[in-house]
Structure 1
């Protein structure tokens, strides 16, 4: 299907709002909880765990409801309108228990919309591998704009981060209404009712019979454990060491993500999949080491460099891993394989990472209420190095999976 300029604009606007909503409150969540609700590190990690729970439940919502009974744009609208209410209420709570309930409901309704937004886009495209990046990049721009707005409005320094939930709720409500105007995307025809096996992509488990993909799969879960430290505590770290406009500064990571995404095809061609994935893993270790020895004074350049490594960290592992999965898996299980790897990383991997990162951060709480960040960051750096050694030692590049042919 030809992607005309108007349709491209409509889909790009959808992506912009989708990731604006996420970036508007999730980046500064750790700082908000620590400062406004006096949450511990373990509680902050529990709050970020809502993302993993949402990712685990998302296949059921999309597979059992959206893909079978309702047009994708309509369920997208309903979920965002519900999420808008939950986000607004989350920002009004004064204790962590009540906040967690509303945040969980917000994420359970939000995470399925990521797949729905992709589905709406793919169904309008003749060549998604060529056309989708130009639409998806507006999502990254939306995330960047959210961070810049938070910095420009001074909400972090002014103890006004509760406003981020209002901003996210407004964005979610706008997208909820706008979704009903998007191109009609009815359910795909199906030969029968969806099963749990279909929804979870369990047919792709046969790929794990092949050693190369099994090593990649395990490494994908393991690398998400140190990844949780970045998602959960970077903004708190930046604010504690005194970086002004931390959320805006943190958006440098998304700027680099755009740049490295553009050179990804060249890197894969020049380096191959194994070296590309290894560079992504090592970048996580390097980033945490830079954070450990950086500060807001003369060593601020280390912090900035660590943030700019986000493009390498994310694109060279997650995007390259998605491309590898698409190349490796036979056509009949490609969609299931992508669903399974997403469930493993954003679901299982980040869930484990969130459960262990909080207690570790709590263990290095200083007497003045701040944290001993040098020690904290060296722990995920070491974890990333161990995962890299595991992957480098056991992974053998292979183009296809004979096990599921």
Structure 2
């Protein structure tokens, strides 16, 4: 891959996640303060992510993979997205705002797969070439958060500017996409079935009892995860944290750090302990949020944010690697699609549905809540999932690999479970 292509793919990845981070992190705060919604309506708005995740495989499997070049579809989706985001910023109430956010998530979620597809098709050694490009996406999310915090849009009540900023970035990426390297559809024999699109062939993995336990734990842990996505920013703003969106970006910085450290932990801990530490981190994060404040316990709020690296990398990235190794060559892609559909589709859908009513039930006044009681609920859910996982999951042995190997090399080694 030449330098020009590498720069283009890196810029694409930066904008892809800058767009998402520019409005998604502060969505709950915007709805509660600007549009005066209930917490239940916040959950309904975030639910659109799960709807988009469920619809995305159909767009990719039925359109991108068979009829049109990926970079052209990416461009069209982001151009449409730019218009929708701008219109969303002008919506005066939730009833007029919701159709826009629903439509936007339906057109945005497929782009997450498209940017990966475009990148991989230009690479001769994806395991080596992709990580330096993908890390620009995390950087884009970080820059978006720091920008919102620095400009004080939360404090000033001008969060409608987040949608306009994301719309401008989406317009740029939409136009830029047509300059990306050509990524034509792959010619395939036979018809594409619904089973192919959704990765349902990977359901065979559930015959493995340990993988079944992991699969159910993945779905269940996404229920408390929805509380974090929905209400962390409103919570931090309500308790008085200055520049909350900027502080939350430290979670993505933590993600980068722990991603780099994962090979070290993989070799020494093995699959079961890695997954367990990831779930334990969710329990501790919510406990920190429950008892943290902007006084003497301010460190708890920061610790809860910074633990994102352990929460995400140790559970979700480890789970993706575990799935990849167990699936074998034939079902690798199907297995990743299946676990993504189950977690971001089903698991988080359940979480989005229940988190809003729970937060509403602990409302104590105008835009105030008993956050201690709220956060102890997802902490309890994550704790139950952790205990059941420890009791039922069987990890026969560790990954006996050379600690000098990088993550991509260890990923290719089989996990005997």
Divergent runs of 4+, >4 A: 398-402
Structure-1 separation of matches of 2:302 and 2:361: 26
Distance in structure 2 (CA, Å) of the matches to 1:359 and 1:268: 38
Give the Å deviation of 1:400. 6.2
Q: Who is 2:178 aligned against? A: 180
Q: Equivalent residue for 1:210?
A: 208
Aligned residues of 2:322 and 2:415 also touching (Cα < 8 A): no
C-alpha spacing 1:200/1:401, structure 2 compared with 1 (3 Å): farther
Question: Residue 156 of structure 1: CA displacement?
Answer: 0.5
Structure 1 residues 221-232: aligned runs within 5 Å: 221-232=219-230
Residues 30 and 160, structure 2, Cα contact 8 Å, conserved in 1: yes
Kindly indicate whether residue 271 of structure 2 is the aligned counterpart of residue 265 of structure 1. no
Aligned partners of 1:278 and 1:196: how far apart in 2?
Answer: 33
Unaligned stretches of 5+ in structure 1? none
Count of aligned residue pairs for this structure pair: 400
Q: Which residue matches 2:40?
A: 42
Q: Does 1:112 align with 2:110?
A: yes
CA distance in 1, matches of 2:233, 2:212: 34
1:97: Cα distance to partner? 1.2
Show CA shifts across 1:283-328 (max 9, x none).
Answer: 0000000011101122111100110000000011111111111111
Deviation at 1:91, TM superposition (A): 1.1
5 Å matches for 1:349-388? 349-388=347-386
Listed one character per residue, the Cα deviations across residues 65-113 of structure 1 (whole Å, up to 9, x for unaligned) are 0000001111000111111111111111011111110000000000000
**Shift of residue 193 of structure 1?**
2.2
Q: Is the 8 A contact 1:55 1:343 kept in 2?
A: yes
Q: Name the residue aligned to 1:80.
A: 78
Residues 222, 387 of structure 1: 8 Å contact kept? yes
TM-score, length-normalised on structure 1? 0.97
Q: Distance in 2 between matches of 1:90 and 1:37?
A: 12
Q: Which residue of 2 aligns with 1:6?
A: 4
Note if contact 2:286-2:304 (Cα within 8 Å) is conserved in structure 1: yes
Alignment of 1:289 with 2:274, yes or no, is no
**Whole-angstrom CA distance in 2 between matches of 1:85 and 1:170:** 9
Which of 68, 71, 78 is the equivalent residue of 2:69?
71
Task: Give distance in 2, aligned partners of 1:297 and 1:132.
Answer: 42
Aligned residue for 1:243?
241
Cα distance in 1 for partners of 2:363, 2:266 equals: 42
SS at the partner of 2:378?
helix
Q: Distance in 1 between matches of 2:53 and 2:188?
A: 24
Alpha-carbon distance in structure 2 between the residues aligned to 1:4 and 1:314: 32
Structure 1 residue 6: Cα displacement: 2.1
- Measured on the aligned residues, the alpha-carbon RMSD in Å equals 1.2
Q: Are the equivalent residues in 2 in contact too, given 1:12–1:138 (CA < 8 A)?
A: yes
- CA contact under 8 A between 2:33 and 2:367: conserved in structure 1? no
Distance of 1:296 and 1:179 partners within structure 2? 43
CA contact (8 A) 1:155 1:161 kept: yes
Distance 1:99 1:401 in 2: 49
Distance 1:131 1:149 in 2: 29
The partner residue of 1:27 within 22, 25, 34 is 25
Is contact 1:329–1:400 with CA below 8 Å preserved after alignment?
A: no
Supply the distance in 2 between the matched residues of 1:300 and 1:165 (Cα, whole angstroms). 30
What is the Cα deviation at residue 401 of structure 1?
A: 8.7
Counterpart in the other structure of 2:159: 161
| C-alpha contact (below 8 Å) 1:225/1:350 kept by paired residues | yes
For 1:144-159, list aligned pairs within 5 A. 144-159=142-157
Report if the CA contact (8 A) 2:279-2:386 is conserved. Answer: yes
Partner of 1:54: 52
Equivalent-residue separation in structure 2 for 1:259 and 1:302 (angstroms): 20
Output the CA distance in 1 between the equivalents of 2:231 and 2:72: 35
* Cα offset, 1:147, TM superposition: 0.7
In 1, the alpha carbon distance for the partners of 2:251 and 2:204 equals: 36
Any idea what the Cα deviations from partners look like across 1:45-73, whole Å, max 9, x if unmatched? 00000100000000000000000000111
Once residues 389 and 283 of structure 1 are traced to their aligned partners in structure 2, the CA distance between those partners, rounded to angstroms, is: 13
User: Which SS does the other structure have where 1:185 is aligned?
Assistant: coil
SS of the residue corresponding to residue 95 of structure 2 reads helix
Q: SS state of the match for residue 366, structure 1?
A: strand
Q: Distance in 1 between matches of 2:279 and 2:172?
A: 37
1:395 is aligned to 2:393:
yes
